[in-house]
């Protein structure tokens, strides 16, 4: 005859396990696009497509970590409902790759998402991985069902290169769900209950067999030397010296036919208060800004500008544009001595 105490312990353990599993399943929200907290039942959009527009890159652009494409930044409000009677309330979270669709993405591409200003790279690795907490989804109100709340999230979706050689043509993999808004414990097991953002049109990514070679001609190769300027001439806002320079892009080979070139400038020395100004690390009291020849308007670092006004024809082998580097006084009492700063010029396709 079995010991009754053993039977009781086995029954108790089984009961506790069943309760635990039930509690985990019950922790799910239905979060949908829209500000609808006045509704007692879930309503709102559950699927939004983000198509990749037609973009072209040289094969050399596919170095690890290179940003290839980014969607516009969207600010969205979501409403979450306690559909499984968890009255204590729970926060809403972002879950990456909820259906595993991103496993179809070519290995040369990494999909990432910026949530409220923070980048989350490589969300296509893994399935249904819980990401950041985006705020309270429901709250306790003293009843058996929590009160629905709204959360506001700013996000954009981006694609980076992994360093793997890309195919000459990207396949159309259809739609790929990137993230889902859901509750704290896991993805909602009820289909079509939660907002999903999906990427489409991967076949719009084009790989060109043309790599623009950039040459900068200033006072010497890839260098602009302002020479000597006298501190006695300093006056805040006054341009101390202007040096012209040219940027040339070799597009020989014909692979760039039909493409329009764009240029951007970047630097780790950009002023925190003026994105068009470079400040040397020694901070001698001068700043440097770039203008196109014939213009006095400073170019903004990190902004894309047309390098060609139209698409290239097959007989074009090189494109050259003229610019000015301007040295500006930032103080009436500059610090004497040598200074230097650097900027990177990138030319790619529109």
Share of the chain above pLDDT 70, in %: 91
Distance between first and last Cα of the chain: 82
Give the confidence band of 58 by pLDDT, cuts at 50, 70, 90: confident
Q: Hey, what long-range contacts does 2-8 have (CB within 8 A, 24 or more apart)? A: none
Give the contacts of 272 (CB within 8 A, at least 6 positions apart): none
- 178-233: pLDDT as tens digits: 999 999 988 999 999 999 999 999 999 988 777 778 899 988 878 899 999 998 88
Q: What is the dihedral of CA 56, 61, 67, 70, to 10 degrees?
A: 0
> What's the pLDDT at 253?
64
Average pLDDT over residues 110-139: 94
- 218-274: pLDDT as tens digits: 888 788 999 999 988 899 999 999 999 999 998 876 677 788 888 999 998 999 899
Average pLDDT over residues 14-19: 34
How far are the Cα atoms of 98, 101, 111, 122, 288 from residue 159, in angstroms, in the given order?
18, 15, 5, 9, 32
Strands (E), 226-315: 239-250, 261-266, 286-292, 304-306
């Amino acid at each position: 005859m079995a010991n009754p105490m053993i039977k009781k312990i086995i029954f108790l353990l089984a009961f506790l396990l069943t309760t635990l599993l039930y509690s985990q399943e019950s922790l799910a929200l239905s979060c949908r696009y829209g500000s609808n907290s006045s509704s007692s039942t879930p309503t709102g959009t559950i699927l939004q497509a983000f198509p990749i527009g037609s973009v072209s890159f040289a094969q050399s652009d596919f170095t690890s970590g290179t940003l290839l494409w980014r969607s516009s930044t969207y600010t969205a409000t979501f409403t979450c409902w306690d559909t499984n009677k968890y009255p204590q309330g729970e926060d809403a979270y972002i879950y990456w790759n909820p259906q595993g669709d991103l496993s179809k993405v070519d290995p040369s591409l990494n999909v990432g998402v910026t949530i409220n200003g923070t980048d989350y790279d490589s969300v296509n690795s893994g399935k249904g991985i819980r990401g950041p907490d985006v705020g309270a989804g429901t709250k306790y109100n003293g009843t058996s069902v929590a009160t629905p709340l709204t959360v506001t999230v700013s996000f954009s979706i981006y694609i980076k290169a992994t360093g793997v050689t890309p195919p000459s043509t990207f396949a159309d993999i259809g739609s790929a769900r990137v993230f889902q808004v859901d509750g704290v414990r896991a993805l909602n097991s009820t289909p079509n209950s939660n907002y999903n953002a999906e990427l489409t049109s991967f076949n719009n990514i084009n790989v060109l067999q043309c790599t623009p070679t950039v040459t900068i001609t200033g006072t010497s190769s890839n260098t602009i030397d302002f020479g000597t300027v006298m501190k006695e001439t300093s006056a805040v806002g006054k341009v101390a010296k202007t040096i012209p320079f040219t940027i040339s892009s070799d597009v020989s080979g014909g692979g760039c036919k039909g493409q329009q070139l764009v240029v951007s400038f970047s630097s780790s020395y950009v002023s925190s208060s003026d994105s068009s100004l470079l400040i040397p690390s020694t901070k001698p009291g001068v700043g440097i800004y770039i203008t196109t020849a014939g213009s006095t308007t400073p170019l903004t670092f990190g902004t894309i500008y047309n390098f060609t006004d139209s698409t290239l024809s097959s007989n074009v082998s090189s494109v050259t544009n003229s610019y000015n580097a301007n040295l500006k006084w930032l103080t009436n009492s500059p610090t004497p001595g040598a200074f230097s700063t650097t900027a990177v010029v990138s030319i790619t396709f529109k």
